[in-house]
Amino acid sequence: MAKSLLFPEFKMERDQSRCISCQVCVRQCANDVHVYDQGDDKVTSREEQCVGCQRCVTLCPTNAITVKKQEAGIRPNANWSTQHLRNL
């Protein structure tokens, strides 16, 4: 998969002390944001694919996941919409 030049719109925070690697987030995510690594027995996240639906947060049995809007993303602009800036 090629690396995106767009800054991720959302920030994924996973509390590894709470995460039990149950893979609920992996199975429910339609955007393949969460990935399970069998070797490390860990779940990691690809933030650039997150659309902020919060399903993983809601379904996580241990409340280990938090999804927040990135502060350093695209700033509001009177002349250009967010979609126009992304298309550039």
Q: What is the pLDDT of residues 40-66, one digit of tens each?
A: 999 999 988 999 999 999 999 999 999
Q: What is the rounded CA–CA span in Å between residue 36 and residue 47? A: 14
- pLDDT band, very low/low/confident/very high, at 33 (cuts 50, 70, 90): very high
- What total of structural domains would you count in the chain? 1
pLDDT of residue 83: 76
Question: Where is pLDDT greater, at 17 or 88?
Answer: 17
Q: Is residue 81 part of a domain?
A: no
Domain range for 24 is: 10-72
Kindly report the CATH number assigned to the domain that includes residue 29.
3.30.70.20
Q: Is residue 23 part of a domain?
A: yes
Q: Is residue 86 part of a domain?
A: no
Which residues are CB-contacts of 72 (< 8 A; sequence separation ≥ 6)? 7
- Provide the 3-class DSSP secondary structure of residue 52: coil
